[in-house]
Amino acid sequence: MMFYQFDDDQIKLSNKSILITGGTGSFGQAFVRKVINTYDVSRCIVFSRDELKQYEMAQEFPVVAGGPIRFFIGDVRDAARLELAMRGVDYVIHAAALKHVQTAEYNPFEAAKTNINGAENVVTAAIRSGVKKVIALSTDKACNPINLYGATKLAADKIFIAGNNLSGAGGCSFSVVRYGNVIGSRGSVVPLFQKLIKEKATELPITDFRMTRFWITLDQGINFVLSCLKIMQGGEIFIPKIPSMKITDLAHSMAPGLLHREIGIRAGEKLHELMISEDDARATVEFSDRYAILTPFLNLNMADYENFGVKAVSKEFKYASDSNDHWLSQESFKSLVEM
């Protein structure tokens, strides 16, 4: 199968200023590395609240006179600090979030403050600072959510889409990128399995032998965001066409022959992930390498994307990890993990 790279039509960032919230996370660090090494940006601002991670990141990206990198201590909960950081910024990538399902379940107020209030603060600061475009990173868990993390991200998605009405004609454009599990990201199952394998575990824990998930590499996620930043009109939720894989197949690819132990699905977990529901299908269009949910109240339609050869999906369409047309083989997954 074709494993999409999303790197054919990326936005040009030469002489542009870009800010990334949550810039010291897995995505943020890789995104900064891509931007600094590929584009002649005027500024690349890392906005995060973790002083230690910023210090460690500065060893790879030292701040030098006339150089593009900037480190800005701040929290998305602080609207005034965000507005200060966004002065003169062209594009914002919003990656900051409390992302772990169990953490959100046990700390609901904190998850809401960061994921929902933080989204509102990013929208307000971007409008007030004259930012041109904002892309917010979402998750498959925001589609028909059953856990608090997914619910807060769904609320955040709605806030960003509504931001297009608040900014008005000619103002800042807001869009959302929604994708699945990132191979190798902190807190995902891949590093856990790698740790257990290294420690000579005799079995790998599987929550449910039937479980499937969408998978994307970190590089693909970055390239997808950059390509969406170019084609966005404002108001879309972009979803990449990426493969699914059974968790048992993933475990077999990482440790052939190692026993599996079913430990039971955890609170807030889905058996299969969903990125586009049947209710969303009425507003969804299909590109060659992605889907886009077009918000009806913003009057977006297929004519806005006629240069991309888009088409409407069927009314019964849904995009779920168990009914996906594209599946990742054990061999392909193993090669990606070893990259």
The domain spans of the chain are: 17-180+216-241+279-313
**In what helix (H) or strand (E) does residue 205 lie, and over which residues does it extend?**
strand 203-206
**Is 153 known to be catalytic?**
no
Q: What b/e readout covers 150-164, taking b as 16+ CB neighbours within 10 angstroms?
A: bbbbbbbbbbbbbbb
Confidence of residue 1 (pLDDT cuts 50, 70, 90): very low
66-75 confidence digits (pLDDT tens):
899 999 999 9
Query: Under CATH, which architecture does the 17-180+216-241+279-313 domain have?
Result: 3-Layer(aba) Sandwich (3.40)
The Cβ of residue 331 has, within 10 Å, a number of other Cβ atoms equal to 9
Type of residue at 113: K
Helix 330-337, helix 247-254: angle, nearest 10: 60
Lowest mean pLDDT among 36-50, 84-98, 173-187: 173-187
Confidence of residue 5 (pLDDT cuts 50, 70, 90): low
Report the chain's C-alpha Rg in angstroms.
20
Written as one string, the DSSP assignment of 117-137 is IHHHHHHHHHHHHT-SEEEEE
Q: What is the average per-residue pLDDT within 190-209?
A: 93
Interacting residues of 176 by C-beta distance below 8 A, sequence separation 6+: 135, 136, 137, 138, 157, 160, 161, 236, 237, 238
Type of residue at 131: V
Proportion of the chain above pLDDT 90, given as a percent:
80
Q: What is the pLDDT of residue 59?
A: 95
Q: Which residue has the higher pLDDT, 339 or 11?
A: 11
237-292 confidence digits (pLDDT tens):
999 999 999 999 999 999 998 999 999 988 888 999 999 999 999 999 999 999 99
**Mean pLDDT rounded to a whole number for the chain:** 92
Catalytic residue among 141, 153, 241, 270: 141
Distance of CA 91 to the CA centre of its chain: 16
Please tell me the distance from the alpha carbon of residue 290 to that of residue 178, in angstroms, as a whole number: 11
- Written in H, E and C, the secondary structure of 263-298 is CCCCCCCCCCCEEECHHHHCCEEECCCEEEEECHHH
Q: What is the pLDDT of residue 296?
A: 79
- Tell me if 258 sits within 8 A of 197, measured CB to CB: yes
- Tell me if 249 sits within 8 A of 193, measured CB to CB: no
Please tell me the distance from the alpha carbon of residue 262 to that of residue 299, in angstroms, as a whole number: 47
Please tell me the distance from the alpha carbon of residue 279 to that of residue 285, in angstroms, as a whole number: 13
Q: Which residue has the higher pLDDT, 63 or 338?
A: 63
Whether the pLDDT of residue 35 is over 50: the answer is yes
Whether the pLDDT of residue 2 is over 50: the answer is no
Q: What is the pLDDT of residue 8?
A: 55
118-140 confidence digits (pLDDT tens):
999 999 999 999 999 999 999 99
Please tell me the distance from the alpha carbon of residue 38 to that of residue 83, in angstroms, as a whole number: 27
- Dihedral sign computed on CA atoms, order 256, 261, 266, 272: positive
Whether the pLDDT of residue 293 is over 80: the answer is yes
Tokens found for residue 243: 């493969």
Q: What is the pLDDT of residue 266?
A: 84
Please tell me the distance from the alpha carbon of residue 318 to that of residue 278, in angstroms, as a whole number: 5
Lowest mean pLDDT among 98-102, 175-179, 209-213: 98-102
